[in-house]
Chains A and B, each alone.
Chain A
Amino acid sequence: MNAQTQSSAPILSVEHVAVHFGGLVAISDMSFEVHEGELVSLIGPNGAGKTTAFNVITGFQRPTKGHVSFQGTSLDGLKPHEVTGLGLVRTFQRTSVFEKISVFENVLIGLHRRTAPSLFGTLMGLPGERKAEAALREEAWEILRLVGIEHEADELGGSLPYGDQRLLGVALALAADPRALLLDEPVSGMNASETGRFIDLLNRLRAKGTTILLVEHDMPMVMKISDRIVVLNYGRIIANGTPSEIQNDPEVIAAYLGGGVKNA
């Protein structure tokens, strides 16, 4: 069922995952793979199970059935911070920044995974830890510059314009040193120029070899940047292929526009 074009081994594979909330079936049977360096979009109408799929992959939600593995490591039973520890990092649809903390400190928090200070050294104020802290701050500046919000470093996270908050959310995820980045509706609510800036950022990340899995409703953007698109509807995958394949898939058209739309 997968229309793979690459021959490399998958970095992320989702196998027969099902999620039931009581009697409600959020995801009935979902399998797909993401390969190293790919940008795969997960699309589907509201309530199709996209965010639930993200939650399962990143350990925020236990699947009722099925398995997820990342770089050959099974993620079964791992806690979210352990999944992040493997290099699989996500952003959120809504709660995306620490609102009462400065933008710069936000990124410093995001850099958590890159520091392993000794408790003793920290308490004694040893020069080694100070040097590490200085290096960390330099790294935070670099990420802010990469994302393009370095001029707002001193502002509170919650006081940024909406589009910049989304960028800060991505900066936080980038700070966590992702091998694969999962973005949950990153451009929802952004205007056209903000979306344009965001696409530039994604291209820069791809140039650095970051694998990206994207959930998004902005179809022009999805069609423009995706290598491959996975379409979910009512908790199951109805299509998986390149943007042009997806655009011409009758089942996808039906799911998005309702049945009998040939004339629409």
Chain B
Amino acid sequence: MKQVFPFIALAFFATVPLWLQDQYYLHTLVVAGIFMLAAMSLNLLLGYTGQLSLGHVAFFGIGAYVSALTSLGFSLSIFGFQITHEPWPAFVGLILGALAAGLCGYLIGKLAFRVRGAYFVIVTISFAEVVRLVSLNWVELTNGPLALPGIPPLTLGFEWTGYVTLWGKAQNYYLVLVLIALAYLLIKRLVQSPYGRAMIALRENETLAVSVGISVTKYLVLAAIFSGALAGLAGGLYAHYIQIIDPMIFMFLNTVTMVIMVITGGKGTLAGPLVGGLIFGLAPVFLRNYVGPEVQWILYGVLMILVVFVLPEGIVPAIERWFNRAAKPKRKNGSAGGKMEQSGSSLAMASSGKVNS
């Protein structure tokens, strides 16, 4: 049952554009999907290695800017050298954006994992702030607060298949859906392999993990590279879908959104960021009829606190436990009963021994 559930979910979401006529709802789903990708990337770090990146939006934004600039082209002068870049196809930008964000993940990982825990959090926050300031002030390259408008939508295809430009919402929806499915599959393979086990071991007990020969730096940096690249990919998708980006993309609120998605859904689970992403991606749609955006954020906070208090591990682990209990009541009862019998008999022996002596 657990094995087929991802396929059922995928099949259901594949049908959504067929019956959902409202373009606004579809748009919300696309943006939610992009943030789900970002949340999945954060989950790799926060959930599997246990390192909280509170500057995760930096990778997202770097992916967006690199992808946008690659496909828009730019010209600037550095130290008297004139550099001009002609526009390249959008999907090349998308890949370069992911690679650039992955490279940043590598650098941040190398730098920051010497100091883990709270220090890593501080380094990542600082990193995001530096990148935000660069995007705001390097006007020649990024247009600063004036934003980068007119980013071309993605064009997919080969010479022998013909090309499709993703103008429509449904097209982008399917692209995001496919990428989420791919990312899910790759992350699943990674975390269930010796690589993922090493990451989990470092999260659970670093000293012990090291003692069986697991290299801290290697696996944490690997996780940071993957995490950065996936967040960068999400950022690139965002840029080509929304078609305009500005330094507001580096808002701390965006990182917080990803963190909330991961923690509510269940960090360290494959489905957690997807469930959390769906809830917090769609919540604005349902809330906007009743309350203003500021109140929405307060409600998110309340919801987050509720989840942390009621389901501290997140929604997905709670459902899994409930499901396991419902699926195998006999076995659970049997083993529990067996244990009680054992302890009962040893207790009886102990007491009878006392009586005898």
Contact = CB atoms under 8 A, between A and B. Distances in A.
Contacts of A101: 200-201, 204
Contacts of A84: 210-213
A253 B197 CA distance: 47
Instruction: Tell me what chain B mostly uses at the interface: helix, strand, loop, or mixed.
Output: helix
B329 interface: no
B243 to A, nearest CB: 31
A125 B189 CA distance: 7
Contacts of A129: 193
Interface string B104-115: 000000000000
Contacts of A119: 195, 222
Interface string A171-205: 01101100000000000000000000000000000
Interface string B190-223: 1001110110110011011111111110000010
Given A95-B207, A98-B201, A122 B212 contact: no
B211 A112 contact: no
A147 to B, nearest CB: 15
A176 B195 contact: no
Contacts of A175: 212
Interface centre among B186, B194, B210, B214 (most CB of A within 10 A): B194
A60 B201 CA distance: 18
A122 B195 contact: yes
A108 interface: yes
A5 B58 CA distance: 63
B277 to A, nearest CB: 22
Interface in B91-105: none
Contacts of A89: 211-213
A99 B200 CA distance: 12
Nearest to B213: A84
Contacts of B190: 122-123
Contact of A173 (B212, B215, B222): B212
Contacts of B198: 109, 112
A100 interface: yes
Contacts of A112: 194, 197-198, 201, 212-214
A110 B189 contact: no
A243 interface: no
Contact of A105 (B197, B207, B208, B212): B197
Contacts of B201: 98, 101, 109, 112
B213 A109 contact: no
Interface in B155-195: 186, 189-190, 193-195
B194 A172 contact: no
B340 to A, nearest CB: 15
Contacts of A236: none
B212 A176 contact: yes
Interface string A228-258: 0000000000000000000000000000000
A261 B194 CA distance: 56
A92 B208 contact: yes
Interface string A100-120: 110001001111110101010
A158 to B, nearest CB: 10
A142 interface: no
B197 A108 contact: yes
A153 to B, nearest CB: 13
B212 A133 contact: no
Nearest to B208: A95
B212 A98 contact: no
Nearest to A172: B212
Nearest to A154: B335
Contacts of A60: 207
A96 interface: yes
Contact of B189 (A82, A90, A99, A123): A123
Interface centre among A80, A84, A85, A119 (most CB of B within 10 A): A80
B194 A90 contact: no
Contacts of A79: 210, 215
B205 to A, nearest CB: 6
10 contacts: A58-B211, A81-B213, A89-B213, A90-B211, A101-B201, A109-B201, A119-B195, A122-B189, A125-B189, A172-B212
Interface of B: 186, 189-190, 193-195, 197-198, 200-201, 204-205, 207-216, 222
Given A112-B213, A172-B212, 10 more contacts: A79-B215, A95-B207, A98-B201, A98-B205, A112-B212, A113-B212, A117-B194, A123-B190, A133-B193, A176-B212
Q: 7 closest Cβ contacts across the A-B interface?
A: A84-B213, A113-B213, A122-B193, A176-B212, A115-B194, A109-B201, A80-B210
Interface of A: 58, 60, 79-82, 84-85, 89-92, 95-101, 105, 108-113, 115, 117, 119, 122-125, 129, 133, 136, 172-173, 175-176
